[in-house]
């Protein structure tokens, strides 16, 4: 009996992930997909969709949690093998670029980020990232005159931009991480006095 319950739960999880991944693809293509389009893309019936989610809004809220979880897991796994904090930061950046579809969804459906549960997770993520960036500032990696919040925001924007460039075929996937690193450390222009 316990084995059957585990198998049912596993199948439900697979179904939800298939729906989330299908929706990510549709959102990444610039669509604002309906339940029918998401279900069709995932090759799952609308009835099955509604067994898991009562409304499209319930689905989007659950998808936001999934997107954040997948980003957190990817970053954590990437940082795990690093020998230094600086390596951990760059490993996370490179690992998150292919996850740009999750960023795209969260940007497109930013209202899902207003859920109290997600707000708590974002606050925790920000504290951890700002702490890491502060440490990197203290050892000379990043400019200490900038706020950790600014560096974090710019990093997120560059991760998303790199993903977009890879998707458009304008940037090779293996060049994306080094380009983000170079841009974060050196900017895009020749340094001149700003008046």
Shared domain for 46 and 87, answered yes or no, is no
Shared domain for 101 and 136, answered yes or no, is yes
Shared domain for 95 and 7, answered yes or no, is no
Q: What global pTM score does this model have?
A: 0.83
Per the structure, the complete domain to which residue 69 belongs is given by 57-186
Convert the pLDDT of each residue in 166-175 to its tens digit.
Answer: 999 999 999 9
Query: HSE (CB half, 13 Å, CA atoms) of 47?
Result: 0
Shared domain for 145 and 74, answered yes or no, is yes
**For helices 2-28 and 100-108, what crossing angle results, to 10°?**
80
Distances (CA, A) of 153 to 50, 71, 77, 192: 36, 15, 21, 24
How far is 179 from 166, CA to CA, in rounded Å?
12
Tally of structural domains, the chain:
2
Q: 1 pLDDT band (50/70/90 cuts)?
A: low
What is the domain-level CATH number for residue 43? 1.10.10
Convert the pLDDT of each residue in 36-66 to its tens digit.
Answer: 999 999 999 989 898 889 998 999 999 999 9
Shared domain for 1 and 64, answered yes or no, is no
pLDDT number for residue 113: 85
């Amino acid at each position: 009996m316990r084995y059957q319950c585990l198998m049912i739960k596993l199948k439900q999880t697979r179904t939800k992930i298939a729906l989330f991944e299908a929706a990510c693809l549709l959102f990444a293509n610039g669509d604002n997909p309906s339940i029918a389009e998401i279900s069709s893309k995932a090759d799952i019936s609308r009835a099955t969709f509604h067994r898991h989610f009562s409304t499209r809004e319930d689905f989007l809220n659950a998808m936001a949690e999934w997107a954040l979880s997948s980003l957190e897991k990817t970053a954590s796994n990437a940082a795990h093998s690093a020998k230094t904090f600086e390596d951990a930061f760059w490993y996370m950046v490179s690992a998150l670029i292919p996850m740009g579809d999750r960023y795209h969804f969260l940007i497109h459906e930013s209202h899902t980020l207003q859920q109290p549960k997600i707000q708590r997770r974002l606050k925790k993520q920000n504290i951890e990232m700002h702490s890491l960036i502060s440490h990197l500032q203290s050892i000379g990696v990043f400019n200490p005159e900038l706020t950790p919040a600014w560096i974090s925001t710019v990093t997120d924007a560059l991760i998303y931009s790199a993903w977009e460039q890879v998707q458009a075929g304008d940037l090779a996937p293996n060049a994306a991480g080094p380009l983000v690193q170079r841009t974060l450390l050196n900017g895009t222009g020749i340094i001149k006095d700003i008046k």
